[in-house]
Structure 1
Amino acid sequence: MSVLQRVVKPTTHKGKKVLLRKEPQIIEGTKRAIFFKGRKSSEKVRRVLRDIFDLKKPDAQMLSRNNDVTIFENATPVEAFCRKHDCGLFMMGSHSKKRPDNIVVGRMFNHSLLDMVELNIDNYEGLREFAVSKITIGIKPCLLFNGPHWEQSDEYRQLKSILIDFFHREQVDAVRLQGIEHTISFNALPDGKICLRSYKVLLKKSGVREPRVELEEIGPRINFTLRRTKLPSPDLMKEACKKPGELKVHKKKNISTDSLGTTHGRIHMGKQDIQKIQTRKMKGLKKTSEERIALKRKVLRESGDVSVKRRRSVSRGSSSSN
């Protein structure tokens, strides 16, 4: 049994722009994240949500109320939240006797749940515990993933992909040295812990052209432990990572680039009649009166020779008949 969905048509120009902005785009902007709490939440969970929300701002939205959501059993409420607030990422904090100090981070695709990972908060030191100057809101961070465990299991590989999507901002082709101000480091330890560290990049004088780089920890400092995961199927992941046809680079024929970066193009043209090419009508290209008279005499001469030959053939025929 199929359920028919009501198609809402915009009645104003502003409503049309809002609906067009929510449709799939060829070049997507920065993914927004929504932060909310479950049935119960501890003080540690609330502070972790607030600190990560501060790192994600301004591409983030925080919900203040508690929500009766058990996401691993039913993800429909979370999908409704993300659809309502137009967010492709979410982070939910909860606290229970069975799973204390719990964080769930995940992604959406086509307004449906793609994947999510559940993490336990072991140790935590917030932003306010570090009495240093903070970074500017909206700075694009440099992400570091240390340890071989990020590539040894599907769960860690998927968590790495989620974290990259979560802290990724606008796409840029080049970054100047002074633009690298914030670094977030994720360390995967052999005992299964995942350590999140946040640093401010300081460029000091070194006496040479390249500055001396120092890292100053600004918080938060969090140790996680991996709990449950929900991984997508290979077909769904392939569809989510598919690029639109407009962004695919197609090979152009008869165009090559040499070792110096110069682009060369090859043009195939048919045989040209130089006498019929229309040139620019310039005074210097015009024929003189002598050239025009000589050309006219040549044409008359050629036409006269043909008429003489015809006359001779006619006269010979008449003489033979006589």
Structure 2
Amino acid sequence: MSVLQRVVKPTTRKGKKVLLKKEPQIIEGPKRSLFFRGRKCTDKVRKLLKDLYDFKKPDALMLSKKNDITIFEDVTPVEAFSKKYETPLFMMGSHSKKRPDNLVIGRMYNYSLLDMFELYVENYEGLKEFSANKILLGIKPCLIFNGAKWEETDELKQLKSLFIDFFHREEVTSIRLQGLEHAISFTITESGKILLRSYKVLLKKSGSRTPRVELEEIGPRIDLTLRRSKLPSEDLLKEASKKPRELKVHKKKNISTDALGTTHGRIHIGKQDINKLQTRKMKGLKKTPEERKKEKIAAKRSLSENSMNNNVNKIKKMKSR
């Protein structure tokens, strides 16, 4: 039995703009995030959600009410939130006797769950506990991943991809040194603990053109441990990672770039007669009068020989008839 879905058609120009905005775009803007609490939530996790929400502003939305959601058993309410608020990323804080100080972070694809991870907040120090000056709203952070374990398993690779999706903003083609004001570090230890640190980048005088870089921790300071995860299937991940045809880079023929970034082009030309090439006109390369006379005499001889040969051929043809 097939269920027919009702197609919503706009009746006004404003409604048409809203529906077009919801459709997939060739160049997507920053992904919006939704922050909410579960059935129970400790004060530590609540403050953590508020600090990360401040980092994501203005591309974030936070719900004030508690929600009776067990996300690993039933993800339908979260998918409904994602569709209602247009937020492909979400973060939920919860607390229970079995899983205290719990944090669930995940993302959606086409309003359906793509992947999510459950993390234990082992240690936390908020923004207010650091006296350093904070960053401005909307600053694009520099994301740093330390540790070889990020590339060892598919689970940690997917978690790294999720962190990049969650904290990065617009795509940039060039970087200004003074624009690097905020750095977020994700360090994974040999025991599997994830250390999240946030720094303000300070450029100090060094006596040369290159400034001396210092990092000042501004918070929050979070220690996380991975509890469980829900990874996407290969087909779903391939479909979600597909790029539009308009954004695919087409390789240009006969153009290559070396290791230093220099572009080289190759041109194909036909066979050339070296004797007929036009060279630079110099006095030293000009022909002498004697050479010109010899060329004229050789040209006259070739003409006379050609005419004689033509006459002989005509006589032979007449005799053969």
TM bracket, shorter-chain basis: 0.7 to 0.9
Question: What is the DSSP-based 3-state SS (H/G/I as helix, E as strand, rest coil) of the residue aligned with 1:48?
Answer: helix
CA contact (8 A) 2:186 2:197 kept: yes
Matches within 5 A, 1:1-322: 1-252=1-252, 256=255, 261=263
241-250 or 220-229: bigger deviation: 241-250
**How much does 1:2 deviate?**
2.2
Distance 1:154 1:64, change over 3 A: same
Deviations 1:202-253 (A, max 9, x none): 0000001100000000000010110010011111111111111111122345
Aligned length: 267
Aligned residues of 2:255 and 2:263 also touching (Cα < 8 A): no
Task: Say if 1:194 and 1:258 are closer, same or farther in 2 by CA, change over 3 A.
Answer: closer
92 and 17 in structure 1: CA distance in 2 versus 1, 3 angstrom threshold: same
1:198 maps to a residue whose letter is S
Q: Give the match's secondary structure for 2:263.
A: coil
Q: Distance in 1 between matches of 2:207 and 2:49?
A: 42
SS, match of residue 228 in structure 1: strand
CA distance in 2, matches of 1:62, 1:10: 29
**Does the 8 Å contact 1:256/1:265 carry over to 2?**
no
Q: What secondary structure is seen at the aligned counterpart in 1 of 2:71? A: coil
Alignment CA distance shift 1:188-1:252 (3 Å):
closer
Task: Return the TM-score normalized by structure 1.
Answer: 0.79
Normalised by the size of structure 2, how large is the TM-score?
Answer: 0.80
SS at match of 2:113: strand
Whole-angstrom CA distance in 2 between matches of 1:188 and 1:261: 39
**Residues 105 and 258 (structure 1), Cα distance of their counterparts in 2 relative to 1, 3 Å cut:** closer
Q: Secondary structure at the match of 1:215?
A: strand
Q: What is the CA deviation profile of residues 246-282 of structure 1, one whole-angstrom value per residue up to 9, with x for unaligned ones?
A: 11122345x53687537677799xxxxxxxxxxxxxx
Cα distance in 1 for residues equivalent to 2:157 and 2:215: 27
Equivalent-residue separation in structure 1 for 2:28 and 2:257 (angstroms): 34
Distance 1:257 1:118 in 2: 46
Structure 1: distance between partners of 2:130 and 2:11:
51
Residues 117, 229 of structure 2: 8 Å contact kept: yes
Distance between the aligned counterparts of 1:132 and 1:13, measured in 2? 49
Structure 1 residues not aligned, in runs of 5+: 269-322
The residue type paired with residue 176 of structure 1 is: R
* Partner of residue 279, structure 2: none
